[in-house]
């Protein structure tokens, strides 16, 4: 099963169709960071620091001001990049490249052996759906040795509608992904560590799985499963 990385962006739901979904009963949409690997260990602190550096250098802010702006945009838009593009005119490709250089990333990437084995046995079309850039996703999947297990990889560069970036949790983008796969949303399952993304997916009829293996203390503070979460799991073999 080879990787077919999408070339055409999602444009108002009318982007190029992705092959294979019509032949299966289930389409699995997997998040990457803190779902398939421990991003808190491998990359998240470095990415946050790189974003602060970028904002400080390119917008001429002090470090406290840069960190405050990064956090404010993240809370308002779900992605720091969206706020920077909208309010500061930052070029998305330039930002993504310079904040994901991440020297030594591959040595820090770690997944769970049982989870990766479960992916090999999981039936259905398997798609990576990540708000990370394509180059970063390729590096992580390569380090985990699982790129060949996925039929498509959809990164943030693929999440454009009407010329604008619409990453998760944009429900319109999620619906457009289902259209491109040629299936109704009800045949899709979003496997995620981020609740707001699952809430958007459930709103358009997708099933949802809350993956908690890599959440650490965050998981222990969440005692209830929200109504929009179909299942709550700590290991991927629970999906088999």
Q: Is the pTM of this model over 0.85?
A: yes
Q: How far apart are CA 48 and CA 24, in angstroms?
A: 38
Local confidence pLDDT in tens for the 240 residues of the chain: 333 333 333 433 335 677 666 667 899 999 999 999 999 999 999 999 999 999 999 999 999 999 999 999 999 988 999 999 999 999 999 999 999 999 999 999 999 999 999 999 999 999 999 999 999 999 999 999 999 999 999 999 999 999 899 999 999 999 999 999 999 999 999 999 999 999 999 999 999 999 999 887 655 555 688 999 999 999 999 999
Fold of 44-99: DNA polymerase; domain 1 (1.10.150)
CATH code assigned to 4-38+110-239: 3.40.50.1000
Q: Are strands 231-233 and 4-5 parallel, antiparallel or unpaired?
A: unpaired
- Listed in order, the ranges of the chain carrying CATH 1.10.150.450 are 44-99
CATH 3.40.50.1000 location in the chain = 4-38+110-239
């Amino acid at each position: 099963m080879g990787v077919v990385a999408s070339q055409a962006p999602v444009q108002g739901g009318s982007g190029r169709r992705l092959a294979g979904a019509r032949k299966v009963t289930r389409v699995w949409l997997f998040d990457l960071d803190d779902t398939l690997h421990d991003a808190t260990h491998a990359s998240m602190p470095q990415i946050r620091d790189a974003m602060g550096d970028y904002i400080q250098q390119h917008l001429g802010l002090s470090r406290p001001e840069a960190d405050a702006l990064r956090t404010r945009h993240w809370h308002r838009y779900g992605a720091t990049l969206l706020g920077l593009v909208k309010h500061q005119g930052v070029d998305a490709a330039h930002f993504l490249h310079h904040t994901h250089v991440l020297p030594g990333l591959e040595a820090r990437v770690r997944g769970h052996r049982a989870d990766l084995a479960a992916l090999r046995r999981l039936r259905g079309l398997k798609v990576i759906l990540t708000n990370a850039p394509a180059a970063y996703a390729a590096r992580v999947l390569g380090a985990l040795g699982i790129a060949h297990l996925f039929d498509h990889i959809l990164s943030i560069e693929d999440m454009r509608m009407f010329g604008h970036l619409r990453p998760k949790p944009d429900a319109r983008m999620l619906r457009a992904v289902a259209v491109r796969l040629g299936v109704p949303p009800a045949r899709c399952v979003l496997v995620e560590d981020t609740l707001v993304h699952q809430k958007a997916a459930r709103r358009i009829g997708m099933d949802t799985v809350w993956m908690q293996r890599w959440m650490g203390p965050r998981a222990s503070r969440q005692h209830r499963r929200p109504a929009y979460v179909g299942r709550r799991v700590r290991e991927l073999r629970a999906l088999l």
